[in-house]
Chain A
C-alpha cells in the first residue's frame, strides 16, 4: 500500500519535473543528484578520498560559508523590524530585545555568527596558507580570498553602526575619523589640505554623507550593510568556488 503511494508520487509528472533522477543509492543517480541541482553542482561529482580528510581543511571554508548563510537568513529577518532612522533605530533594537518574539534569538545569532565569520575566515586563510594552497595555479583565488576577507571585515563594521547605541556611534566615529587622515584625499592627511580637501569635501565626508556620523551616515551604512556588501561577497564567493573547481583542489596526493 505505502509502496504504491510512493510509486504514484515518484512516478508523477510533477515529481519527475522537479527531481530528474531517482534516489541517489546508485552511482548514476549520485552523479545526477549533484549536477542536476543548482545548489549541489558547485561540487564535483566525485572527489578524491584524501580531499575529504578533515585534518586537511578542518572544514574551515565550509564553516565560513555556513556562517555567511546564517547571517543572510537572520539578517533578512532583522530587516523586517529595523528602520534606518536615527530616531527609531535604537528603539527598534530595544523592541527586538524585549518585545518581539524571537528577537533576542535572531539578534544574538546574527551578532555571534558575524564574530564567528571574522574568526573563521582568518582560520581558513591560515589553513590555505599553511598548506601552500595559494601557489600556482591558485594565486588568483587567493586574491579573491583577500577581497572576501576585507569585505567580511567591512560588513561587520558597517553593521556595527546600525543599533545606534554608544558602542556603535563611537566605533564608527573613530573609524571614519581615520578616513580623514588618508594621504592626498583626507582633510587631515598629509598633502590633503594643500590639495584643497576640507571637512566638507574629503573622503570622510563621502563616507558619512556629512561631517559627523548622523542620519546620512546611518542610511549609507544600512544600504552598504544590507545590500551592497552582501552582494559583493556573493559575487566573489561565486568566483571563489568556480576557481576552486577550475584550478583543482590542492588536497594531499
Chain B
C-alpha cells in the first residue's frame, strides 16, 4: 500500500498519515469531507445488511406459522365468486370502478398515476430538503404525495372491509350474506339534476355539466397563477401546466368520490363518447 499507491499528483503531506486516493465530481458524496467521516463497508454496512436479512427471514418464518397461502377450489369459468376481490394492492383501483367508468378507473387513471410519479422530480422545483426528513421546508410536495397515497390506501381499506355482495357498501355489522336492494342507491348523472332544478332541456343540462368540468380545470389552473405568482414564476409555464393538470386530476378523483358517495352523482361530464 505505502509508497506504491501514492501517486505524483497527490504528493503526500508529511503531517498526514494518509494520502488522497480518489477524485470525484462535485455532487458525489465524499467531496470536501474529511476521510474520518467515512467507515469501511466491511464490516460496518455488511453487518447491518446481514442483520436486516436475518430479521426479514425470521419475520417471514413466524408469519407463515399463522397464515398460509390461500388455495380455493379449481378455476371454474361458470361460477363467479361474489364479491370478486382483486389482490389487495389493486383493490384501490377496483374500488375506483364504483366512481368512474372502466376506461378511466382501470386504464387512464393508473397510467396517469405512473406518469405523474415519474414526473414528480421534474415538477418539484424546491431545492430544499435533500437528505433529511422535513415537512416544514416542503409542505406542498409532502401534501401532494400524502394526499395521493391517502386515496390509494383509503380505497384499499374500503374495498377490503366495507364492500360485500355485488360490491355494495356493507358495514362490519351488516349482514354480509344478504343481498342489498340495489334500488336503494339510484345514481343520477349531474345534468338530470340541472334539468329538474332549472327546467332546462337535457342538452342544456349536459352543457352545464361540461362547463363545470372544463371550468374546474380552467379556473383551477388560472387562479393559482395569479394568487401564487412566485410559485408560478418559479415553475415556468409548461411545468406549471403539467403540474396543474395532474394536481387537479388527483383532486378531481377525491371530489368525484365525495359527489358519488354523498349525492349519488354518476357523471359530471357527459359526451357522446366518454363520461366522467
Contacts and interface: CB of A to CB of B under 8 A. Distances in A.
Interface of A: 24, 27-28, 30-31, 33-34, 40, 43-52, 54, 59, 62-63, 66-67, 70, 86, 90, 93-94, 97, 104-105, 107-113, 115-116, 118, 126, 129-139, 142-143, 146, 149-150, 153, 156-157, 160, 163-171, 174-175, 177-179, 181-183, 186, 188-191, 212-213, 247-253
A131 B40 contact: no
Interface residues of B, number: 74
Given A30-B40, A108-B64, A59 B48 contact: yes
Contact of B103 (A86, A129, A167, A182): A182
The 3 closest A-B pairs by CB, nearest first: A178-B106, A169-B75, A111-B69
B74 A249 contact: no
A108 B45 CA distance: 30
B60 A190 contact: no
Contacts of A33: 42
A40 B108 contact: no
A221 B69 CA distance: 19
A90 B117 contact: no
A183 B107 contact: yes
Nearest to A189: B103
A178 to B, nearest CB: 3
A57 to B, nearest CB: 10
A168 B75 contact: yes
B230 interface: no
Contacts of A116: 56, 60
Indicate the member of B38, B114, B273 with the most A CB atoms within 10 Å: B38
B30 interface: yes
A245 B84 CA distance: 45
Contact of A62 (B37, B49, B122): B49
Contact of A252 (B43, B49, B85, B132): B132
Interface stretch (B86-94, B214-222, B242-250): B86-94
Given A49-B37, A132-B138, A90 B131 contact: no
A160 B59 CA distance: 23
Interface in B119-142: 120-122, 124, 127-134, 138, 142
A149 B75 CA distance: 29
Interface in B235-276: 273-274
Given A66-B56, A112-B64, A174-B94, 19 more contacts: A31-B40, A34-B41, A45-B41, A52-B45, A93-B71, A105-B64, A113-B60, A129-B145, A135-B127, A150-B114, A165-B71, A170-B80, A170-B81, A178-B106, A179-B107, A188-B102, A248-B27, A249-B29, A250-B131
Interface in B61-80: 63-64, 67-77, 79-80
B86 A174 contact: yes
B53 interface: yes
B33 to A, nearest CB: 7
Given A116-B60, A156-B89, A163 B41 contact: no
Given A28-B1, A170-B80, A182-B107, A62 B52 contact: yes
15 contacts: A31-B40, A43-B45, A46-B39, A90-B75, A108-B68, A109-B60, A112-B60, A112-B69, A132-B132, A136-B127, A165-B71, A167-B81, A178-B106, A181-B106, A183-B107
Contacts of B132: 131-132, 252
Contacts of A179: 106-107
B40 A27 contact: yes
Contact of B74 (A118, A129, A157, A165): A165
A170 B73 contact: no
B27 A247 contact: yes
B73 A166 contact: yes
Contacts of A191: 273
Contacts of B145: 126, 129
B266 to A, nearest CB: 17
Given A52-B39, A183-B108, A250-B130, A178 B53 contact: no
B44 interface: yes
B60 A70 contact: yes
Nearest to A53: B48
A62 B77 CA distance: 41
A112 B30 CA distance: 39
A112 B41 contact: no
Contacts of B108: 183
B48 A109 contact: no
B23 interface: no
